Structure 1
Amino acid sequence: MRVIIFFDLPTVTVDERKAYSQFRKFLINEGFIMMQESVYTKIALNSTTSKLIQDRIRKSKPPRGLVQMLIITEKQFSGIEYVVGSGQDTIVDNISRLVIL
């Protein structure tokens, strides 16, 4: 099984940035790996272990923001399709859209 954590935390104030950093460090210390920015995953041996992981996340969540948890099987996780596009190297360097106020 996989526990996937999605989070969207505010980072406007100093306290919010500190809470974000602490939560991210907590996830890393718990053995989560980053899939994308604000998406972390961890393998759980069974449903009991996944429930324990979820409980620890609930206790360590920041006071503000959104944290979501999803439990999926390894078979479902292995079905993830990675779609990778090519990077854009074109740099527009002109003033054709410049607005002067």
Structure 2
Amino acid sequence: MFHRINAYRTMWVLVFFDLPTETRKERKIYAKFRKEILTDGFTMFQFSIYLRHCSSKENAEVHIKRVKSKLPVKGHVGIMCVTDKQFGMMEIFRGRELSPVPEVVQQLELF
């Protein structure tokens, strides 16, 4: 069955994390986790908040599973999915100035 891509079907996966960085080993673990989620297509939204646009809930679940497979032993990590419609309703401010919400990355999928 063909599903038309729309703002209610496409998803944003957000990964929030607070990892310890007091020792050299902890900083290395932090850097490795950050690099792995960047390699999986996530981009930095704010410090320790990364996001990725996905074409469907099923595609989002694939990336969530990848993040879960890379979780460090210590620290706090949160993963949240929101629809493109919900994400588009977010208000973002730089100081008191309203900033635009990041644009959707257009991805070509071949089946």
Mapped to 2, the partners of 1:44 and 1:63 lie a distance apart of: 27
- The structure with the largest strand share of the pair is 2
Secondary structure at the residue paired with 2:55? Answer: coil
| Structure 1 position 66, deviation (Å) | 0.6
Aligned residue pairs, count: 86
Partner of residue 4, structure 2: none
Partner of residue 80, structure 1: 90
Partner of residue 96, structure 1: none
Say if 2:52 is the partner of 1:68. Answer: no
Partner of residue 98, structure 1: none
Residue type matched to 1:68 in 2?
A: G
Normalised TM-score (structure 2): 0.74
The 5-angstrom pairing of residues 13-92 of structure 1 reads: 13-85=23-95
Residue type matched to 1:39 in 2?
A: I
Mapped to 2, the partners of 1:7 and 1:23 lie a distance apart of: 10
| Structure 1 position 4, deviation (Å) | 0.3
Say if 2:14 is the partner of 1:4. Answer: yes
Mapped to 2, the partners of 1:77 and 1:16 lie a distance apart of: 32
Of all paired residues, the percent bearing the same amino acid is 37
Residue segments in structure 2 that go unaligned for 5+ positions in a row: 1-10, 97-111
CA-atom RMSD in angstroms? 1.0
Task: Report runs of 4+ in structure 1 exceeding 2 Å deviation.
Answer: none
- The structure with the largest helix share of the pair is 1
Residue segments in structure 1 that go unaligned for 5+ positions in a row: 87-101
